[in-house]
Amino acid sequence: MLDKTDLYYFSPTGGTRKVAEILSQGLSEEVHSVDLGVRGEGVEAPESGTVVVAAPVFGGRIPAIAAERLRQLEGNGKKTVTVVVYGTRAYEDALLELNDIMREKGFQVVASAALIARHSIVPEVGKGRPDGQDREEILSFAKKVLERSQEGTDSPVDVPGDRPYKAGMNMPVTPLSLPSCVQCGKCASVCPVGAIRSENGAVVTDPEGCMLCMACVAACPEHARILPPPVQEQMDQKLGALRSVRRENVFFL
């Protein structure tokens, strides 16, 4: 076990965080976590020699805001284990994109994984993931990463994906607030890009800024924040067939 790792995660609805914490706890006694979804000044520099980075897959890419915040880090040769977390459909160019960013910033990518969590738009897809089996697989991957590191046999990892990456997602739609909204402001406070504000007693969402990450929907204590019903129905239909699919985690080292 390592003494300490730094974990950088972007996790609007908690799935990425859950998976990344299992991995980080398998690698080290102590985990210093940095939430890339928190708006603020800069991103803290890593404190340890090994960094775990985890981002969800949005439309086969990593969310632009996660990429932007990761670009504020300087690797100076530190080892990193990269993870993308996806909702059973596909991860396409996301892991390649994440690895490219980390290498560009001077990190040495020693291992990577594409792991499964519940789909944050259609939660019946990947329901219950990560589960006990995922946990075992992730911990056994952590063990192999540690063994490689101790033997000094880590080598650059190769992951699937294409350059140029597929075009970023562009869905001109935002979640909406139902009349049961009590204007508590929770949605605005959790929005990673500050796209939600209160105006004349109503919640207003900026369609340019919103990336449909679902953080506000997941955080609303009144369950008053939803996707517009026709959009939800469309997504349910598009992804419905994946409800019965158990997609495997994939590990690269």
Ligand X SMILES: Cc1cc2nc3c(=O)[nH]c(=O)nc-3n(C[C@H](O)[C@H](O)[C@H](O)COP(=O)(O)O)c2cc1C
Strands 2-9 and 50-56, how do they pair? parallel
Q: What is the DSSP letter of 207?
A: T
ω into residue 164 within 30 of 0, thus cis? yes
Residue 88 interacting with ligand X (CB under 6 A): yes
CB 216 within 8 A of CB 184: no
**What is the x/- site pattern for ligand X, positions 95-124, by CB under 6 A?**
----------------------xxxxx---
Residues 6+ apart with CB under 8 A from 137: 249, 251
CB 66 within 8 A of CB 10: yes
Establish if 161 lies at the interface with ligand X (CB under 6 A): no
Nearer to ligand X, 59 or 79 (CB): 59
Establish if 59 lies at the interface with ligand X (CB under 6 A): yes
Which residues face 250 on adjacent strands?
114
CA torsion angle for 119, 79, 166, 89 (degrees, to 10)?
-20
Q: Judged by CB under 6 A, which of 2, 26, 31, 60 binds ligand X?
A: 60
- Note whether 86 binds ligand X by CB under 6 A: yes
Per CB under 6 A, does 174 bind ligand X? Answer: no
Cα 112 to Cα 131: distance, rounded to the nearest angstrom:
20
Nearer to ligand X, 169 or 178 (CB): 169
- Residue with smallest beta-carbon separation from ligand X: 15
Residues that bind ligand X (rule: CB under 6 A) add up to a total of: 26
Q: Which of residues 4-33 bind ligand X (CB under 6 A)?
A: 11-17
Binding mask 207-246 for ligand X (x = CB under 6 A): -----xxx--------------------------------
**If binding is defined by CB under 6 A, does position 87 make contact with ligand X?**
yes
In angstroms, give the least distance from the CB of 152 to ligand X.
33
Supply the minimum distance, in Å, between the C-beta of residue 134 and ligand X: 12
φ, ψ of residue 90 in degrees (nearest 5): -170, 155
Burial of 241 (0-12, 13-18, 19+ CB in 10 A): exposed
Chain positions contacting ligand X, by CB under 6 A: 11-17, 56-60, 85-90, 117-121, 212-214
